[in-house]
Amino acid sequence: MKKLSIITLLLAAVLMMGCDKDSSQELTKKADSLIETAHKQRDYNLMLQLADSLEKEGGLSTAKAYYWRGYASDRLNQKRMAEFFWNGSLDAASNSTNEEDIEIYAKTASHLANLLSVRGDYENALNIAVPVANRLEKLQCDTISDYINLLIYIGCCQAGLGQGGESTTDGFDRAYKKHLDNIEKNHTDESYKNAIAGLINIAYICNYTKNYREALNWIAKFGELLGEYEQRPNTDGDYVDKQVARFAIYKAIALDGLGMKEEATKVYDEYLETDYSKTPEGKLNANEYLTKVNRWEEAADNYSSLDIMLARNKAYSLEDIRDLLVKKYQANLKAGRRDSAAMVSLQISDALDKAFAQAKQIDEQEQSTIVKIAGEMTANNEKVERMKIYGLLGILGLAILVFLCILLYRRIALQRLRKQYKNLEESCRLVEEDTADKERTATEHRITQAIQQKMVPEALPQYKGLGLYATMTPSAGICGDLYDCMIREDKLIFCIGNPVAEDTHSSVMAGMVWALFRSAAMHEETPQNIVTDINNALTKNGEIDMGVTLFVGVLDLKTGMLNYCNAGHGTALLLNEEVNLLPVGENPPLGVQVNWDFVEQEVEMVKGSLLFLYTSGLALATNGKQKQYGEKMVHGAALQAMKMNASPKPFIENVQQTIDKFIDGTPQTRDMTMLVIKRL
């Protein structure tokens, strides 16, 4: 009877698990259906709302929810939001082996690489596309259309950066072969259209990079594939007509680029026979060829359709002005239509005011939304981390209980087996030695912490046009980082450093360096002299085995000129639109060379630029898998933080959040200190 009841309970549990699984699958299917309906209706605001609610209900995974948020934002022309959400989707799916997450991972990378390449940001597009393509190959998912698109985007970006060559051509060939394999395998309209879209991208980038002979090769393949598709039953006539027109215009551009003017003209005449060429969009596409061959009159006539094409929009975007209105002005001017050109210039002026105002409003809205979402993500991550900690504490409590039971058993066993008495004594001795070592280590830690607390400035100086912020996170081991700032005669004098070794002696030496800096900075004018004075004081009685690294700078707050001397310290970053590494020089750490001639360097800090200084603890930060964070990831975190918020305090907080996420609570053996200086 007892066995029967146990079997009954087990069967009930299995049935409940099956019901939960069915319920979860039904919820996922319902969520996909709702999203797809909003997608077909092109209701992108509804899509955003659905992504939020369905993720909370569990119908959408985090990766899929972020993908659809990015897709909707992209269609709403909120490109910054789209990039933010798609990066979030990649992060969420980067370690997943779930089939659905891998599909979303590939789709997201394809969309994001396309967004960045259209913007002309080829380098970041490659940074996204290449690792994802490599991972899809390892997962044997290299037959899906999004992987094939990634191969094409990689080749286009390489060509756009001037890195075209055998690797680019090989990537295009591989993508084309995989498209043909998909057509052979599936033989659907979608497989044909995906292949045609890929060939369009390849032909366009070849023409754009003036590789006209290669362009003709791909245009010929484009024509062959389009001819095959046209023979299929029930094909879309408008789609075929549009692709025939594209084929003709790309071919005309390539022929003209090779000096085959007459052939190009004939092909362009074939373009004019298509229905697409008579549409506003088709007329604008024709101008790619007309402006190349200086047929300005026809180009100016075609641009008259621009107002019709954009009439549905109440205001021109900055991209419309750059890509369309400015070209319309140039065509009218070169066609000799000065009155029309003047009218277009007035239109551009009026459109710019509205576009800048609109762009500013969109940027503010997107920034506010990103900050809000980032805060929610941080809160969710903290909640997850708390749950992990609670779980670990529970496991630890259970382990302690088991350990206590084992100790009790051992005690009883040892009492019965007196022969093991000597082994017990030896164990006790080892425990005592271990306790003494721990007490000594704790005492050294308290001493170095006390020294370090004396070195931390109570408050950073204030100055109009200057932003300052610094943080110091002590390690679980010996502390020794230092930093300081002071303003004298409209000049900011600052330093940051850390001892080379991790022992109490080095920490005390760091305290001496800080005190010597305070003294030297009161009367010396240049970083070179300050560093030299400190080094002379340290090496008065000879060289030291392990010294202290120190970066000393003097920033002229009126001119923005920064003079600095780097005594063996790590990289310093000067950030604006990109990461610039300040030259390190060949100066040794302080105290290891007597009478050393320290070299001083100079750089200009323009207004809006930000100087980011940090100690070695950031790059040496280690997670639970014993993997170090590294300089490259520090630079990446700094650039990302700069894009999110360039003010000193939020900048450091964003960098710290990135590092905290990486180390995941793992105790660190080195302090982490950051100092940010911004010229406003």
pLDDT at residue 674 greater than cutoff 50: yes
Q: What would the mean pLDDT of 193-214 be, rounded to a whole number?
A: 86
Percent of the chain exceeding pLDDT 90 equals 31
The count of other CB atoms within 10 Å of the CB of residue 94 is 13
- Comparing 187 with 385, the larger pLDDT belongs to 187
For residue 575, the SS3 value is strand
pLDDT tens readout for residues 507-561: 888 989 999 999 999 999 899 999 999 999 998 888 787 789 999 999 999 999 9
Per-residue pLDDT, 662: 96
Classify strands 491-499 and 482-487 as parallel, antiparallel or unpaired.
antiparallel
- Flag whether 564 is in a domain: yes
Per-residue pLDDT, 441: 58
Tokens linked to 602: 């100079």
Burial class (CB in 10 A: 0-12, 13-18, 19+), 489: exposed
pLDDT at residue 6 greater than cutoff 50: no
Answer whether 35's CB lies under 8 Å from 55's CB.
Answer: no
Q: What would the mean pLDDT of 638-645 be, rounded to a whole number?
A: 93
Give the pLDDT band (50/70/90) at residue 10. Answer: very low
pLDDT at residue 414 greater than cutoff 80: no
Per-residue pLDDT, 577: 77
Per-residue pLDDT, 477: 78
Per-residue pLDDT, 4: 41
Per-residue pLDDT, 193: 86
CATH of the domain at 545: 3.60.40.10
Per-residue pLDDT, 666: 95
Tokens linked to 124: 């970041």
Answer whether 85's CB lies under 8 Å from 77's CB.
Answer: no
Domain match, 491 and 532 both: yes
pLDDT at residue 588 greater than cutoff 70: yes
C-alpha distances in Å from residue 492, one per residue of 197, 489, 573, 607, 675: 57, 8, 17, 15, 13
Q: What would the mean pLDDT of 147-156 be, rounded to a whole number?
A: 80
Residue type, position 522, single letter = M
Per-residue pLDDT, 675: 97
The Cα 553–Cα 485 span in angstroms is: 10
Q: Which residues contact 127 (CB under 8 A, 6 or more apart)?
A: none
Per-residue pLDDT, 355: 62
- Flag whether 216 is in a domain: yes
- Comparing 649 with 169, the larger pLDDT belongs to 649
pLDDT at residue 492 greater than cutoff 90: yes
Domain match, 206 and 332 both: no
Per-residue pLDDT, 633: 95
Domain match, 620 and 535 both: yes
Instruction: Report the half-sphere exposure of 145 (CA within 13 A, side-chain side).
Output: 16
- Flag whether 171 is in a domain: no
- Flag whether 70 is in a domain: no
**Domain count within the chain:** 3
CA proximity to 465, closest of 152, 167, 678: 678
pLDDT at residue 292 greater than cutoff 80: yes
Domain match, 273 and 298 both: no
Domain match, 319 and 217 both: no
pLDDT at residue 428 greater than cutoff 60: no
Classify the phi-psi angles of 369: left when phi > 0, otherwise alpha if psi is within -120 to 50, otherwise beta.
alpha
Long-range contacts of 69-78 (CB under 8 A, 24+ apart): 70/108, 70/111, 70/112, 71/39, 71/44, 71/47, 71/111, 72/44, 72/45, 72/47, 72/48, 73/44, 73/48, 74/111, 74/115, 75/42, 75/44, 76/44, 76/45, 77/317, 77/362, 78/362, 78/365, 78/366
Answer whether 591's CB lies under 8 Å from 547's CB.
Answer: yes
Per-residue pLDDT, 432: 61
Q: What would the mean pLDDT of 255-278 be, rounded to a whole number?
A: 91
Per-residue pLDDT, 123: 87
SS (H, E, C) 117-168: HHHCCHHHHHHHHHHHHHHHHHCCCCCCHHHHHHHHHHHHHHHHCCCCCHHH
pLDDT at residue 9 greater than cutoff 50: no
Percent of the chain exceeding pLDDT 70 equals 84
Domain match, 221 and 305 both: no
Domain match, 516 and 652 both: yes
CA proximity to 151, closest of 161, 143, 139: 143
- Flag whether 69 is in a domain: no
Per-residue pLDDT, 561: 96
- Flag whether 146 is in a domain: no
- Flag whether 647 is in a domain: yes
Give phi and psi for 599, each to the nearest 5.
Answer: -100, 135
Cα 121 to the center of its chain, rounded Å: 13
Per-residue pLDDT, 429: 67
Per-residue pLDDT, 385: 73
pLDDT at residue 627 greater than cutoff 80: yes
Give the pLDDT band (50/70/90) at residue 590. Answer: very high
Per-residue pLDDT, 11: 37
pLDDT at residue 89 greater than cutoff 50: yes
The Cα 555–Cα 551 span in angstroms is: 13
Per-residue pLDDT, 372: 63
Long-range contacts of 306-310 (CB under 8 A, 24+ apart): 306/280, 308/280, 309/280, 309/281, 309/284
Lowest mean pLDDT among 126-140, 293-307, 341-355, 558-572: 341-355
Domain match, 550 and 608 both: yes
- Comparing 242 with 358, the larger pLDDT belongs to 242
Per-residue pLDDT, 14: 37
Q: What would the mean pLDDT of 212-239 be, rounded to a whole number?
A: 89
Domain limits at 227? 202-278
Domain match, 468 and 515 both: yes
Tokens linked to 73: 């934002």
Per-residue pLDDT, 442: 59
pLDDT at residue 201 greater than cutoff 90: no
Per-residue pLDDT, 139: 84
Per-residue pLDDT, 491: 95
Q: What would the mean pLDDT of 439-459 be, rounded to a whole number?
A: 68
Give the pLDDT band (50/70/90) at residue 344. Answer: confident
Domain match, 317 and 220 both: no
**Mean pLDDT across the chain, nearest whole number?**
83
Per-residue pLDDT, 18: 45
Per-residue pLDDT, 650: 97
Per-residue pLDDT, 602: 95
Domain match, 599 and 496 both: yes
Per-residue pLDDT, 289: 87
Tokens linked to 264: 């190009």
Domain match, 612 and 511 both: yes
- Flag whether 429 is in a domain: no
Angle between helices 79-93 and 99-119 (to 10 degrees): 150
Start-to-end C-alpha separation, the chain: 81
Give the pLDDT band (50/70/90) at residue 16. Answer: very low
